Structure 1
Amino acid sequence: MRSRTAPRHLAALAWLPVLFQLAGLGCGDTLIDVLVPADGGSGAGDPGAGGGAADCAPSLAACEGGCVDLSTNNANCGACGVVCSGGAFCGAGRCVCREGDGMCNGVCTFLDADPQNCGACGIRCGSGQFCRHGACEEGCSPPQISCDGECVDPEWSDGDCGCGDICDEGEECHDGECDCVAPEVRCGESCVDLDSDGEHCGDCDVWCGDRSVCVDGICQ
């Protein structure tokens, strides 16, 4: 019958080479890595691994800077180092533009309104045209208006309104036309407050008379 103690004797014999090495060491010698596991000590916990793939969760990838999700990471989209730019973002591992936009020359473009890429990349609207709903149309792109054949902003910062019109005192420019400043409204050629104006009380041309006043739009 084979002795059950044989494995223990074999284990003891395995240490003999180590003991011989220890016996040969002097007092000034240093013992390094004498006791090493059979697998060489490699694994995810090895400090020299440098953040390898074994350190990341199964759904993540090891890229420079840490573990990332290649399906949504704008700096590592689909693969490490692939950067989404030009207004694009990473979706399902691909650089894509928002719905309604198209990628033209590396930039996300709103094809419904871009006169240089109207409806599709490279389709340019002609002079005097603008892009609306992906098609070139005659005229100026809102809110601009045409003045002497040129498209201009109807609300100019220097006080002009529309094609050079100057609004009167108490008026302001709305959509290229001079209008009264709220809460006043236009009655004829004047801007009036219907809540207090005795000649336009509650509505235009409602006169309260000489002996009554207009309060909250009612003659009293």
Structure 2
Amino acid sequence: MNPRFVLALVAWLAMPAVLAAGVVQTFDTETVGAEPKTFSAVVGNWVIVDDAGKHALSVNGSRWAQGQPSAGLADKARALYGERYAEFLDNVRAYAYFPIAILNDVADFREGTISVRFKGVAGRIDQGAGILFDVKSNGDYLTLRANPLEDNLVLWKYEKGKRSSVKWIRNTPTPTGQWHELKLMVKGTRVDGYLNGKLSLTHDLGRPIAGRIGLWSKSDSVVYFEDFRVETPAGK
């Protein structure tokens, strides 16, 4: 066999999965009771739980009333953003009311599909379940979130520690205690949001996105997540 072909094949096989078939995080190999290894828990209490024999990632807002950064936040920020970690750190602390966990394996998502299954478990004020994307090194980000207590789907933006809605869709039932699928599709400047396979939200951001991705929640929410999937076009 041609040595050059062998070397090229080895190099191709070594490429990150996100460039070819995507990333799938099922949490099945994670340790129950511990923080996830596949995500960096930046704000809030994120731990692996056993849900009817299957592992899920839980955000538990019942353990913190005012919001707090996660343990070892400085080290996590440094691992994610290198020398710019201090800027990220300062801005994340400004909105510690909103738990976020950032996927470690995808450093720059620009176009494609992100989906996750979620289940609202508890929370009297909120049961927020969101896909985090366009996360910048200064802490700014976008999120597409559902809420079983409100039956709506909202696209939010966070800039300099301030939250504002981009688009709000009502009458999107996601009963608490049941599993649902939230999916985000990004193509160019367009963002589409799906709930349980149904297109519910469409918006043109007017600009392309680029940055890290992950999971988002709010206040006293207790939510389970599983089957976090990322698919990107080749080269994106």
* TM-score of the pair, normalised by structure 1: 0.16
Which has the larger strand fraction?
A: 2
Which has the larger helix fraction?
A: 2
* TM-score of the pair, normalised by structure 2: 0.15
